[in-house]
Chain A
Amino acid sequence: NAGVTQTPKFQVLKTGQSMTLQCAQDMNHNSMYWYRQDPGMGLRLIYYSASEGTTDKGEVPNGYNVSRLNKREFSLRLESAAPSQTSVYFCASGRNTDTQYFGPGTRLTVL
């Protein structure tokens, strides 16, 4: 099993550009999550999806949108990137409220 996969691994954007971060899991998990990790701030939840067809805001949702395309895939979209969105983005999945399994991360720089 591949577990949780994320694409791309690295991305550089200019301010105002848009992009979508892709995440897929092959563990048949109901719940999926997007976090960002910043130095000195720890990991913060952006959005999550408790089950296919539902999404909810986390701690820092402003500037982002998400889509739970199907049970396997959960994408994160930046419509108009800002330098404050420079971060490492992690996708995770889990069986409801149990252990969360994380992907390798996407390192995003916004110039």
Chain B
Amino acid sequence: KQEVTQIPAALSVPEGENLVLNCSFTDSAIYNLQWFRQDPGKGLTSLLLIQSSQREQTSGRLNASLDKSSGRSTLYIAASQPGDSATYLCAVRASGYALNFGKGTSLLVTP
């Protein structure tokens, strides 16, 4: 069974810092990996999708990388803002249609 782990579980940084969130998975035979954002009491918003053949994807201040062979992905957030405060979830599609989710990293960006 695919296991997805996210480290750290929680992170607090001052505004303006660059930061990295980590995601690791146990089975490298994946189709794609997706990063989501979840605000308290809300649904999930897709941030970036990386196909298994890709190494990275970028959207604005966000950059996600994928190293399939080592079973790792990172989400890099540049110049963090208080509005970035949320829980960030990593999800791996190993086979078929199901996504396997990590438990998330709770990010707090302080002014």
Cross-chain contact B103 with A33 (CB below 8 angstroms): no
**Alpha-carbon separation in the docked complex, A3 to B52 (Å):** 26
Residues of A at under 8 Å CB distance from B? Answer: 4, 31, 33, 40-45, 48, 50, 56, 58-59, 90, 92, 96-105
Nearest-Cβ distance from residue B38 to partner chain A, whole angstroms: 9
Q: How far is the CB of A64 from chain B (nearest CB, A)?
A: 15
What's the dominant secondary structure at chain B's contact region?
Answer: strand
| Given contacts A43-B89, A97-B31, A97-B93, A90 and B44 within 8 Å (CB-CB) | yes
Q: Which residue of chain B has the shortest Cβ distance to A41 in the bound complex?
A: B103
Q: A40-B103, A42-B102, A42-B104 are in contact. Are A97 and B97 (CB under 8 A)?
A: yes
Q: Give Cα A49 to B93, complex, Å.
A: 15
